[in-house]
Amino acid sequence: MKKICLESPVFNVEAAMDAAEFGVDRLELCANFPEGGETPSAGMLKFLKTEIDIPVFVMIRPRGGDFAYSQKELMVMKRDIELLGEQGADGFVFGVLDKQGFVDTDSCKSLLRAASGKPCTFHRAFDVSADYFDSLEKIISCGFDRILTSGGKNSVSEGLETLKELLQKAGDRISVMPGGGTKPRHVLELGTTGFLKEIHASCKMWKPSSNHYLNPDVSFSDDPKSFTHHLRIDQNIVSQFLEVTGG
C-alpha cells in the first residue's frame, strides 16, 4: 500500500506540537478556529520551525466570510506570503473567487508568484465555487499543487460521490485532498479511485484549560467551551488515520 499523507489543521502551539509528536505528516497552520481559519502570526510559525521537523503550510486568509477579496486585501495576502515565506513556511493555503463564484485566476496567479515556487493548496473556497469542474480546470491551469475539498458539501461523508468523480477527473494532474469531517473510513472508500495521495483531518479534541479562575460575569464567546477548553489533537484519532494511510 502506498503511503497517503496525513495533514492536520492546527490553531495553537500546543496542538502543532502534539500533531508532530503523534505522527501527523504535515501541518496546516491557522488562526481563528471559529472562522474556519485565518492567517496565523509570523511569530508562531518562526517558533514552530525551530521545534518541529515536519512541513508547515500556512493559511493565507485575511478575514472570515466569503473569498471575493478587495485589491487591498489581496495586497495584504501577497505580503503575508512574502513575510511568512521568509520565516520558513513550507507551503501556502489560499483561494480566491470572483463575485460570481468562479475562480479568480489572475489573483490566484499573482499570489502563486509571491509564493516563489513553494507548493500551494487551493482551500475549501473550492466548495463554495459556482462550478466544481470548471474550478478544477482553472486551479490546475493556475499551477496549484492540490485542492482541499469536501466535495461541495458540509462534510466528506456528504460529498463522497463528488469527491470520487473529482479524483478521477483530476487524475495525476493535481492532488485532490479530501477534508471536512474526514473519517478514517473515507481513506479506504476514496482510495479505490487510485488517485488519493493526501487526506486532511482535524483529529481534534477539546482539552480542559489549566486555568483555575473564571469570572462568571464576562464571556468572550457564545461558546463557553472556548474559554474553559483548548483545541488540541487527539492521539487516538491520529493513530486510526495512520493505520489506514500506511503511516
Contact 78, 114 (CB under 8 A): yes
Residues 6+ apart with CB under 8 A from 230: 12, 14, 15, 206, 207, 208, 209
Any idea which residue has 492540490 for its cell? 146
Any idea which residue has 470548471 for its cell? 134
* Range 116-129 average pLDDT: 98
Contact 124, 115 (CB under 8 A): no
Q: Which residues pair with 176 in a beta bridge?
A: 147
What's the pLDDT at 1?
60
How far is the CA of 191 from the CAs of 1, 118, 202, 243, in angstroms? Answer: 10, 27, 19, 14
Q: Residue 148, Cα to own-chain centre: how many angstroms?
A: 7
| pLDDT single digits (tens) 28-37 | 999 999 899 9
Between 149 and 208, the higher pLDDT residue: 149
Fold of the domain built from segment(s) 5-245: TIM Barrel (3.20.20)
> What does the block give as the cell for 3?
503511503
Q: pLDDT confidence of 169, banded at 50, 70, 90?
A: very high
Determine the Cα–Cα distance for residues 34 and 38; give it in Å rounded to an integer. 10
| pLDDT single digits (tens) 198-234 | 999 999 998 888 887 878 778 777 776 667 788 899 9
Q: How many CA atoms lie within 13 A of 130 on its CB side?
A: 11
* % of the chain at pLDDT higher than 90: 88
Q: What is the mean pLDDT of the chain?
A: 95
The residues spanned by each domain of the chain are: 5-245
Determine the Cα–Cα distance for residues 195 and 94; give it in Å rounded to an integer. 22
Question: H/E element holding 94?
Answer: strand 91-94
| pLDDT single digits (tens) 14-56 | 999 999 999 999 999 999 998 999 999 999 999 999 999 999 9
Q: What is the 8-class DSSP label of residue 217?
A: T
What's the pLDDT at 103?
98
> What does the block give as the cell for 189?
472508500
What's the pLDDT at 29?
98
Q: Residue 44, Cα to own-chain centre: how many angstroms?
A: 17
> What does the block give as the cell for 245?
494511510
What's the pLDDT at 224?
64
SS3 label, residue 210? coil
| pLDDT single digits (tens) 129-145 | 999 999 999 999 999 99
Q: What angle do CA 125, 128, 129 make, to 5 degrees?
A: 85
